[in-house]
Amino acid sequence: MPKTMIHPSTSRHSWNHAFASHFAKSVFLTVTALAILVFIGTRMFTHIDLNLYGYMVGTLVFIGGFFYRFIAWAERPPTKNLIKKGIRLLFRRSTPKTTTNHMVTHQFIWNRGIYRWTQHFLIGWGCIISCFVTFSLVFGWMYFTMEENGYYTVVGMGINLMKVKADGLLSFFFYNALNFTAIMVIIGVCMALWRRLKNMQARAEQKFLYDFLPLYMLLFVSVTGLLLTVLNVFFHGKGQPALSLIHQYSVILTLTYLPFGKLAHIPFRAVSVFAKNYREHYGEQSMKKCRVCGGEFVSSEQSKDVIQVLGTNHIEFQMKEGFHLAELCLPCRRKYRISRFSGFPTHEVNVREANQNAKG
């Protein structure tokens, strides 16, 4: 009997139809990979701290929420196009520098002032380091074993990495890593709250649920976490069980909220590298000139992509003058739209706006 040949595309098609949606497939693969890593890191589940069970549940809820939010955002035609082209441009020579500026030094905030850069840097890195430390401990990827000679063995992914003196400087930094990050977040959040309360423009634009609530949640998590150390060191652990539960619940609530609020931009920040590469690469190839003033404003590729995406969504901005609205720079676009309401051809007035090149 002849053997039936299965085409690779048919196999992929069947694999995708095994799940109800992209979201379900992504969550399943991520949780499976997580279980494998936990199996390896805990030496076949022999080093699991059940006191951290609540944090583990909160992390799994966070993963589900993160993928739901990310896939809903990434499936939009503009985002899908940006990610697809951004991945192809990921190995540009400028990618390491762009990644450093956007994800390490936060150079994009520096232009807004040293105060805003400091608060953003402290909150951003405080949260990131806290997550790395917490997730590593919760899933057993890193833990410590004590020997009788006064040394701790640092175990990472089931491998003995190093031995450190229990009362040494390195041990001090290891055990107080979350305290240091809590102080970073507290300082950064207080700076952000001060600016939002004192800056008139910020006060007019900020909303409590979207702008203030995430900061209060981070502040509560950091303060309760820091108080756990204070109770343990100065009060011999008095009141620690109750405060430990309060802190754990606050962390779980924050992790559950994180993918759906303003703090979601922290894990989404990596996509900004795609956007930067996209603008730089296609900007070097050719720039689009405005159909009215003749000034270059975006790359030709970006202008074409905008027109294509609008067409995909059945949104047409083809003007009676024979050009698409996306072929105009922002100032000329504003003037043209005003002319449609006023009847005066403001888009033909060759005067640049006073705040056209304003920064901030």
Chain segment 12-70, per-residue pLDDT in tens = 556 667 777 777 787 788 888 888 888 888 888 877 777 788 888 888 888 888 888 88
**Highest mean pLDDT range out of 35-44, 84-93, 217-226, 272-281?**
217-226
Predicted pLDDT at 188: 94
Q: Are residues 120 and 212 in the same domain?
A: yes
With 80 as the cut, is the pLDDT of residue 226 above it?
A: yes
- The C-alpha atoms of residue 302 and residue 283 are separated, in whole angstroms, by 9
Is residue 356 assigned to a domain? no
Residue 203 has pLDDT above 50, yes or no: yes
Assess whether pLDDT exceeds 80 at residue 149: no
Q: What is the pLDDT of residue 347?
A: 54
Whether 129 is in a domain gets the answer yes
- Residues ≥6 apart with Cβ < 8 Å to 310: 316, 317, 326
DSSP code string of 243-282? HHHHHHHHHHHHHHHGGGSGGGHHHHTTHHHHHHHHHHHH
Q: What is the CATH number of the domain that holds 219?
A: 1.20.950
Residues in a beta bridge with 152: 146, 164
**Contact yes or no for 16/25 (Cβ under 8 A):** yes
Residues 122 and 260 in one domain: yes
- Tokens in use for 167? 């009362």
Establish if 15 belongs to a structural domain: no
Task: Examine the pLDDT at 201 and tell me if it is beyond 90.
Answer: no
Contact between 151 and 166 under an 8 Å Cβ cutoff? The reply is yes
- Give the rounded percent of residues in the chain with a pLDDT score beyond 70: 89
Same domain, 244 and 306: no
Residues 217 and 344 in one domain: no
Query: Does 275 or 204 have the greater pLDDT score?
Result: 275
What pLDDT is stored for residue 355 in this prediction?
44
SS3 content of the chain, % helix, strand, coil (to 5): 65, 10, 25
Establish if 279 belongs to a structural domain: no
- Using alpha carbons, list the distances in angstroms from residue 34 to 30, 66, 130, 141: 6, 15, 19, 10
Q: Which of 23, 7, 5, 25 is nearest to 15 (CA)?
A: 25
Q: Helices 53-74 and 77-88: crossing angle, nearest 10°?
A: 100
Structural domain including 266 reads 22-272
What angle, rounded to 10 degrees, do the helices at 213-234 and 114-138 form?
A: 60
Exposure string over 193-214, b if 16+ CB within 10 A, otherwise e? bebeeeeeeeeeeeeeeebbeb
Whether residue 26 lies inside any domain: the answer is yes
Q: pLDDT by residue (tens digit) across 328-360?
A: 888 888 777 777 776 666 555 555 554 444 443
Helices 271-285 & 77-88 angle (0-180, nearest 10): 70
- Give the range among 127-141, 224-238, 294-308, 317-331 with minimum mean pLDDT: 317-331
DSSP 74-107: HTSHHHHHHHHHHHHTTT-TTHHHHHHHHHTS-H
Domain total in the chain: 2
pTM: 0.77
Question: Which two structure tokens, joined as six digits, stand for 132?
Answer: 């790395």
